[in-house]
Amino acid sequence: MNREHRRSLIIGSGPAGYTAAIYAGRANLAPLLYEGIQPGGQLTQTTEVENFPGYPEGVTGPVLMQDLRKQAERFGTEVRSGLATKVDLSQRPYVVTFSDGVEVEADTIIISTGASAKYLGLEDETKYAGMGVSACATCDGFFYRGKTVAVVGGGDTACEEALYLAGLASKVYMIVRKDHLRASDIMRQRVEQHERITILYEHNTVGLFGDNGVEGAHLVKRLGQPDEEHVDIAIDGFFLAIGHHPNSELFADYLDLDETGYIITEGATPRTKVPGVFAAGDVADPLYRQAITAAASGCKAAMEAERYLNDQGLL
Ligand code: NDP
């Protein structure tokens, strides 16, 4: 195991991690950033980002993330591939072990590990993994050109995925458990008005079927009600868009997490209860979960890291 020492270690490569890296780099902290399992984070799985300031015509998620990475590297960030597998925050310097066989001793750590897609928890989701079940329309939509797919969820992500898939597939079902969409008005209108999207309100998925991959889904309308009704739909692809859970498990022994697993920070700051360890972006944000709010918290975390290093006489 190689061991090396760093003043600034950033774990995760979404908008929070890269923005932290830009600020830490410009503060001369020579940050080391590990990309994690999904380089570029969740935004690399979205299509058009229309609400990141500075892009009046919108920008695709992957392009935005490439730009952020280039900007971080320009100021001296070293970007590596690898997953954090073990942490020891019991004494300083803190030690993080990565899947590339490196143990990093860090004076400060910015945790920006983001959040991952949730699944319904059906056995069939595992059975058909890679055979028709996906949590990323942008990644897998291409395989469903001219076919029929379903998207589960009623939030903005589900609408975005449904609209993206409607550009490829011949028919898109949205499976929504309530009698309304949670999504913003503009997204709701777009899916409701789309001729290839059919919204199945008050439907829950209880299983999938098919001999060679997904060929259909077993649904129940008004599940648990006296008038519940079993409905099967024929589909070729089943896309989950029901939210995310924070990637914080590795830090649970040392940091405070809320009941869902989000890292609890001090008020509006990114400070965790361990001095010199900060949390930024979706891993610590159950409320806003936007690229721009993640970027802002990454900035705050880097500024806090610099202050901490100064206070400790480590700069
Ligand atoms: P949300 O938490 O907003 O929505 C999740 C959806 O999945 C809800 O409709 C929820 O149903 C449904 N759901 C959750 N669990 C289940 C389950 N077990 N079975 C069936 N349905 C389930 O998550 P999103 O990922 O959509 O959005 C997260 C945040 O990101 C939001 O703040 C959103 O506004 C934002 N966002 C913004 C975008 C944009 O501006 N372009 C694009 C994408 C996301 P129910 O309503 O019944 O709880």
Q: Cα 74 to the chain's mean position, in Å?
A: 25
* CB 153 near ligand 1, within 6 Å: yes
Cα separation, 183 vs 202, in Å, equals 15
- Residue-averaged pLDDT of the chain: 95
What is the position in ligand 1's atom list of the atom closest to the CA of 156? 26
The two tokens of residue 313 are: 């006489």
* CB 158 near ligand 1, within 6 Å: yes
What is the value of pTM for the model shown?
Answer: 0.78
Is residue 140 flagged as an active site residue?
A: yes
Q: For 130-155, what is each residue's pLDDT tens digit?
A: 899 998 888 789 999 999 999 999 99
What is the set of domains in the chain, with CATH numbers? 2-116+244-311 (3.50.50.60), 119-240 (3.50.50.60)
Helix (H) or strand (E) run with residue 221 in it: strand 216-221
Distance 286 CA to ligand 1 centre (A): 12
Is residue 174 within 8 A of residue 198, CB to CB? The reply is: yes
Is residue 145 within 8 A of residue 124, CB to CB? The reply is: no
Distance 159 CA to ligand 1 centre (A): 9
Is residue 134 within 8 A of residue 237, CB to CB? The reply is: yes
* Residues β-bridged to residue 87: 96
DSSP state of 263: B
Q: For 248-305, what is each residue's pLDDT tens digit?
A: 999 999 999 999 999 999 999 999 999 999 999 999 998 888 899 999 999 999 999 9
Is residue 294 within 8 A of residue 285, CB to CB? The reply is: yes
Q: What is the pLDDT of residue 26?
A: 98
Is residue 311 flagged as an active site residue?
A: no
What phi and psi values does residue 60 have, to the nearest 5 degrees? -80, 155
